[in-house]
Structure 1
Amino acid sequence: MKRDIHLVFLLLLIIGLSLASLTLWKVMASRKQMLDDINTHSLNLTQALSTYSEGIVRQSSMILLGLVERLETEGSGPAQIERLRQLVSRQQSLMPQMSGVTVYDKDGRWLMSSNRPIPAGANSSDRAYFIHHRDDPSREPFIGLPIRSRSTQEWVITVSRRFDGPHGEFAGVVAVTLGIENFLRLFGQLDIGREGAIGLSYTDGALLVRYPFREQDMGRNFSKSPIYAKYLVDRSVGTASFTSSLDGVERLYAFRKSDKLPLVTTVALGRNEALAAWRFEALLSLLVVSGLLMLTGFVGWMLIRDIRRRVAVESELRVAQQQLLDSNQKLAHLALNDPLTGLANRRCFNETLDVEVRRAQREKTSLALLMIDIDHFKLFNDTYGHPAGDACLQEVGALLAACVRRPTDLVARYGGEEIAVVLPLTDSAGAAVVAQMMLDRLKEKAIDHRASPFGRVTVSIGIACAAGAELDGWQVLLDHADGALYAAKRLGRNRLHGG
């Protein structure tokens, strides 16, 4: 009848584990597939947005290149500037992201503004892009950080080039301003959820644009964020998951570094939002499986209840047997452990040392033995009394046992104030490390012993170690450890000796 109960339990367990495992596997596989799909979709978006951003910058650079060539060929007189204004007005309709084109002379004064009349005394010599071109002879375009336009008061990004005079000297700057609102128009057409975000930034972490747009984000630098500090160090494209430093929302990130420009495109989806459909599906699966498990459990309970009615006496006998086993275990523990310190006793030590010596001889491995004696322990008892001596033995025993961590090691009370430590698979160097740790721990503990010349409780440690082929028996190893212990005591105590 007991076997019948076990079979019912086993059947219920197999059914329950099978259903739970299958459901868990299905739920986790579905989650992984959804995350993979989200990452693939986000990486595709970063590719499209990176191409879009590169196209805008490239288009702006081409416009600037044509204007710079005209300025350097025809000059920057009023007639030439007027022709440039007409040229820009014809091109502006081809690039809706462009807010305007501005030409500055070598001192930062405005020579032309395509989108409004030039304000009196307008000067942009303090702008970062102007300073860059003035101080850097490079002819390459420069993408500036977001600034508030002085002509329209909107937030813009500048793409600029320098133009030179007849003798190669700096003559001024031509800048295309890209309105962030127009730049983000395409971003806003993408469904990234309420917690999603799209960003375009420099490779050094300086933010250029972010959707949804927040004015307080302008000028921020994300070089300390995980994407820049961890992921972009050794790769140019990838995915990650972490909590945003902007708003504290956990997001799934996809990022891509441009091959041609110092730009990084990032697409982030709110993790909770992205996994909402998966959570609903998982919850539905868990509800169905829970119902099946409850039904199976109810049927099994009915069967077990009927069986248990016939095995009540057997159950009581099993309890009595278990109590007897527990009592035997306690007796075995008392037979092998020292009642004062809780360490293994002399009998356990002798049996263990004999077994380990035989194993070391058979397997040709090293075996180390530490013999430890508490220095001036009789003076401790005479000074503080035997109850304090017992407490000292307990404290020292616990401290030494804490220095030995492997299950195969044994710390035993050898007798009186002597403690022995068996260290299988340990050479002399390893045994010395353990012994030194014991000395250091006792020094840190600083148990008061005013009758000792050291002013605290100390121990002397003798070390004996031999390989399997050198072991003649446990008594020889024990004699060597005893000899090393006496040598440590002769040399002044509070030390280790031997090895």
Structure 2
Amino acid sequence: MKRDIRLAVLLLSIISLTVAAATAWELWAARERTLAKAYTHNLNLTQALDTYVEGIITQSSMLLLGLAERLEADGSGPAQLERLRQLAQRQQSLLSQLDGIVVYDANGAWLMSSNGNAPPGTSGADRSFFIHHRDTPSTDAYIGEPIRSRSTGKWVITVSRRYNHPDGSFAGVISVTLGVENFLQLFGKIDIGRHGAIGVTTVNGQVLVRYPFRQSDMGRVLSRSPIFSGYLDHAQVGTATFNSSLDGIERIYAFRKNERYPLVTTVALGKDEALAAWRADALRTVGIAFGLLMVIVIIGCLMILAIQRRIRTEALLVGAREDLLKANRQLEVLASRDPLTGLQNRRSFDDHLAAELRRAHREQAPLSLLLIDVDYFKRFNDTYGHPAGDDCLRSIGQLLTDRVRRPGDLTARYGGEELAVILPSTDSAGAQAVAEQILQRLWQSNLTHVGSPFGRVTASIGIATLPAGSGASATALIGAADQALYRAKADGRNRLDSAPSLAAAEP
């Protein structure tokens, strides 16, 4: 009997350690997946912002080139400067980011300002961009450090260019000023959390724009930051995690060096904020694992007591077995459901589709599949936030549940904002009728979506039907529905598209 007890204790210890190790591994893997998603999100943002900043600088450079050519060809007399001022004002009205355009002579005196007459005695000879052009013969555009505009008092970034006399000597500088506030307004619309940050700097670490804005950051040089002191030496694009040299907060950074200009765009999320959802899930997982360990310990104790008291063992073991089977059945039900929408999950979808495909082949019956994608869902999340996006998916999931009611039909969350409906014994016409009802009901729901050209939440649906007697596979059916969905989205969204008939199996 002692030997049996020792074996039971050993088995209990092995199971407990296995559960603990599996839980720890899953928590670590989930954490890594969360961080990977944060890195990808940041990299995508840096790509978009880098393109935005590059476009503004390129437009400014082209404007400078045109103005310089006019100055060099027509001269800088009063009439010519007046025409130039009128041209600059028209260009300024077309580029909302422009704060002003100023022309300086060779001594730094203001010749022309698009914002009106220059204050008496105003000079730009002490500005770093003016000194750069005066001492450098290159006529390339130059991106200067952030300064306070002497005409408006606002923080601006200068993009400037030298213009020359006919003999090639220095004639002066043309400067385009870009309002820092305009950049901050755009960056402020991006959800980066309470401790997130977005920055645009020169390649040597000179801060041009940083959101959230702090007066003390203007003119700061981050050359000792890990991104500039290490990462940019080896890669144009990358990610990193470290404590900010500005405020000491640990952030997840993504950086991208512009291919045309000496600029670096960075996007950072507070690491604690990025892992907040994971921590909540981890606490739930640990709680479940602890509960499971407690169940295992209790079952082990019951086993030991059963060895010692054989008379009471049978009743205790039978009761424990029934409880365990009931728990397993409940877990199987939970495992087949998507926790957000309440629809079947991807695993349940795959199993159900395989079973219905076998039945369709056996009974020579048609089988239809709808793939549904919520239109402009990323814009919805960006506009209203992810909790509102979750509510939107739940509403659509309930809509599908209300419209698809036959016992053999199945509605599932296929992935992200993509949903699926399996319609056994349904031909192409029937599937199209169901899809039209779904689109009509969703339109009537009138879920507001200002980021969509339709003004409300809509969806695109791809339909694929396996005709009676077809030997096509599940992969072919899903692929056909996916292609139909792609065509529906390409044709303008808020519509459905049906795939051609799947007449035969794939080779």
**Smaller-chain TM-score bracket:** 0.5 to 0.7
TM-score, normalisation: structure 2: 0.59
Deviation at 1:294, TM superposition (A): 1.2
| Residue 230 of structure 2: aligned partner | 230
| Residue 209 of structure 1: aligned partner | 209
Residue deviations 1:216-245 (CA, integer Å, cap 9, x gap):
001111111111112111111111101111
2:297 and 2:74 mapped to 1: Cα distance?
A: 92
| Residue 74 of structure 2: aligned partner | 74
Deviation at 1:306, TM superposition (A): 6.8
2:220 and 2:134 mapped to 1: Cα distance?
A: 25
| Residue 107 of structure 1: aligned partner | 107
SS of residue paired to 1:134: helix
Identity of aligned residues (%): 61
1:223 and 1:301 mapped to 2: Cα distance?
A: 63
| Residue 174 of structure 2: aligned partner | 174
2:173 and 2:143 mapped to 1: Cα distance?
A: 13
1:64 maps onto 2:86 in alignment: no
SS of residue paired to 1:166: coil
Task: Name the count of aligned residue pairs.
Answer: 310
| Residue 116 of structure 2: aligned partner | 116
1:225 and 1:61 mapped to 2: Cα distance?
A: 29
| Residue 327 of structure 1: aligned partner | none
| Residue 246 of structure 1: aligned partner | 246
1:201 and 1:178 mapped to 2: Cα distance?
A: 14
1:30 maps onto 2:19 in alignment: no
| Residue 14 of structure 1: aligned partner | 14
Deviation at 1:6, TM superposition (A): 2.2
2:116 and 2:307 mapped to 1: Cα distance?
A: 94
Deviation at 1:95, TM superposition (A): 1.0
Deviation at 1:213, TM superposition (A): 0.9
| Residue 278 of structure 1: aligned partner | 278
1:144 and 1:16 mapped to 2: Cα distance?
A: 63
Residue deviations 1:50-100 (CA, integer Å, cap 9, x gap):
111111111000000000000000001110111011111111122111100
Counterpart of 2:271, as a letter, is R
| Residue 42 of structure 2: aligned partner | 42
1:157 and 1:135 mapped to 2: Cα distance?
A: 20
User: In the TM superposition, what are the counterparts of 1:263-412 in structure 2 within 5 Å?
Assistant: 263-304=263-304
Counterpart of 2:217, as a letter, is D
1:177 and 1:217 mapped to 2: Cα distance?
A: 19
1:128 maps onto 2:128 in alignment: yes
2:14 and 2:254 mapped to 1: Cα distance?
A: 42
| Residue 321 of structure 2: aligned partner | none
Counterpart of 2:216, as a letter, is Q
Counterpart of 2:285, as a letter, is S
2:238 and 2:181 mapped to 1: Cα distance?
A: 27
2:116 and 2:12 mapped to 1: Cα distance?
A: 81
1:294 and 1:117 mapped to 2: Cα distance?
A: 81
Counterpart of 1:197, as a letter, is A
SS of residue paired to 1:205: coil
SS of residue paired to 2:233: coil
Deviation at 1:117, TM superposition (A): 2.3
| Residue 344 of structure 1: aligned partner | none
SS of residue paired to 2:87: helix
Deviation at 1:25, TM superposition (A): 2.3
Deviation at 1:282, TM superposition (A): 0.9
| Residue 436 of structure 1: aligned partner | none
Q: CA RMSD in A?
A: 1.6
| Structure 1: gaps spanning 5 or more residues | 311-499
| Structure 2: gaps spanning 5 or more residues | 311-507
TM-score, normalisation: structure 1: 0.60
SS of residue paired to 1:209: strand
1:269 and 1:157 mapped to 2: Cα distance?
A: 25
Deviation at 1:289, TM superposition (A): 1.0
